[in-house]
Amino acid sequence: MLIAGNWKMNTDRREAVSLVDDLKRLVGEEEDVQIAVCPPFVHLGELQPLLDGTSIALGAQNMHFEDEGAFTGEISASMLREVGCVFVILGHSERRQSFNETYVEINAKVKQALSYGLKPIVCVGEALAQRKAGQAEEIVRTQASCALEGVTLTSAADLVLAYEPIWAIGTGETATPEQAQSIHATLRQWLIDSFPEVGHSLQILYGGSMKPQNAADLLAQPDINGGLVGGASLKADDFAAIVEAGRRFV
């Protein structure tokens, strides 16, 4: 069970430090549920020493697929490693939609992250029109296979998949546990077929308006192995309550 917070483009320095202080107090010694926070890049270096020795891992929200060079505004895998990142979110739908990120680029990023020992949290998920047209399963399978094309996984801890239906992100509308489980089961089967050694045990997170009120019902589903939490990760009490909900299903 992994509960990861995606802070997106939120928090100033003072808020970031105070959120981490609160999280340390509430879940800093958690033993059963894995926890990660993914703050904006500029806070990573300052938060790393605060999280050192706690059970909260650090992650980033994006990275570039090249080692270094003339890529103005971009951040490399080695930079993320150096500031203590363990995870990196890749292919979030906000990046696909607002920054035209493609699955070819996401695939290159996944390979780059793995080669630097970062754990990618690879996001897939359909738009509302695609769901209404009955294409959700096909879309997420295609997205997953493009993102992970040519990828070799040696351990189930190498990579995390996240199902984030676009229509449920930041909208307050959550997929029902049954809707989510049905897509997670599709992804599970795809993982088993594609990575027979580790596919059974790779984590698949659900993301999209997860909050304390709905977390337990979602996390109770057999193929939902955690959450990628946006809005509710900015409130320490809510994030801790989601971790608490996850603990019941470890």
If the CB atoms of residues 64 and 211 are measured against ligand PGA, the closer one turns out to be 211
Which tokens go with 239? Answer: 């994030």
Select from 210, 215, 218, 240 the one that contacts ligand PGA (CB under 6 A). 210
Q: Could you give the 3-state DSSP secondary structure of residue 34?
A: strand
Q: If we measure between CA atoms, which residue out of 220, 187, 200, 90 comes closest to residue 153?
A: 200
Select from 166, 231, 238, 245 the one that contacts ligand PGA (CB under 6 A). 231
Smallest separation (angstroms) from ligand PGA to the CB of 171: 7
Binding of ligand PGA by 225 (CB under 6 A)? no
Pairing state between β 56-60 and 34-38: parallel
164 is catalytic: yes
**Residue 118 CB coordination number (10 Å):** 25
Q: If we measure between CA atoms, which residue out of 230, 25, 96 comes closest to residue 242?
A: 230
Which tokens go with 134? Answer: 């009955």
Binding of ligand PGA by 120 (CB under 6 A)? no
Q: Which residues on neighbouring strands pair with residue 5, listed in sequence order?
A: 37, 229
Residues 135-174 as x/- pattern, contact with ligand PGA by CB under 6 A: -----------------------------x----xx----
Catalytic residue among 64, 105, 164, 184: 164
Smallest separation (angstroms) from ligand PGA to the CB of 38: 9
